[in-house]
Amino acid sequence: MDIIQIVAFGLISTVIIILIKQQKPEIAMQITLAAGAMIFLALAGSIYTVMKTFEELAYKADLNMIFLGTMLRIIGIAYVTEFGAQVCRDAGEGTIANKVEFAGKIMMILLAVPIISTILNTLIYILP
């Protein structure tokens, strides 16, 4: 699916959701979740291509694949967190959305600790 199709799908979904929300708000929320999932699935192939490209570049640069895996997980957490927070906001739960974002940030920091530690140890070793 190219971006025009995705945007068109999003706009059509939004119109349907607005129309249904007046009569059945609970169904509108389910349609919102389904539309978001369908857009994500439409992008799955592109996400895979990006991941493979990063993997090839890391291999050519002789980077530690553990670091690449960690970076990709951090990126994944960021996107999933943003998606979850936006769904919460769409449901009118801004406070929960803030907590979801906070949890995502904590998870990203936890994953980044070994990388930061390695960089700091390398700097300590290099600098007298």
* Structural domain boundaries, residue 87: 64-128
Asked whether residue 77 is assigned to any structural domain, the reply reads yes
Whole-number average pLDDT of the chain:
89
Instruction: Tell me the two tokens of residue 70.
Output: 């960690």
Contact 66, 52 (CB under 8 A): no
Asked whether residue 19 is assigned to any structural domain, the reply reads no
pLDDT at 35: 92
Runs of H (alpha helix) within the chain: 3-23, 25-60, 65-90, 94-126
More confident residue, 110 or 26: 110
Q: How many domains does the chain contain in total? A: 1
Examine the pLDDT at 85 and tell me if it is beyond 70: yes
Asked whether residue 124 is assigned to any structural domain, the reply reads yes
The 10s digit of each residue's pLDDT in 26-84 is 898 899 889 988 998 888 888 888 888 888 888 888 877 788 888 889 998 998 999 89
pLDDT at 67: 82
Asked whether residue 47 is assigned to any structural domain, the reply reads no
Asked whether residue 40 is assigned to any structural domain, the reply reads no
pLDDT at 1: 58
User: What is d(CA 123, CA 128) in angstroms, rounded to the nearest whole number?
Assistant: 9
Asked whether residue 11 is assigned to any structural domain, the reply reads no
Examine the pLDDT at 107 and tell me if it is beyond 90: yes
Q: pTM for this one?
A: 0.72
Asked whether residue 20 is assigned to any structural domain, the reply reads no
User: What is d(CA 105, CA 74) in angstroms, rounded to the nearest whole number?
Assistant: 9
Query: CA nearest 32: which of 20, 46, 44, 45?
Result: 20
pLDDT at 101: 96
Asked whether residue 45 is assigned to any structural domain, the reply reads no
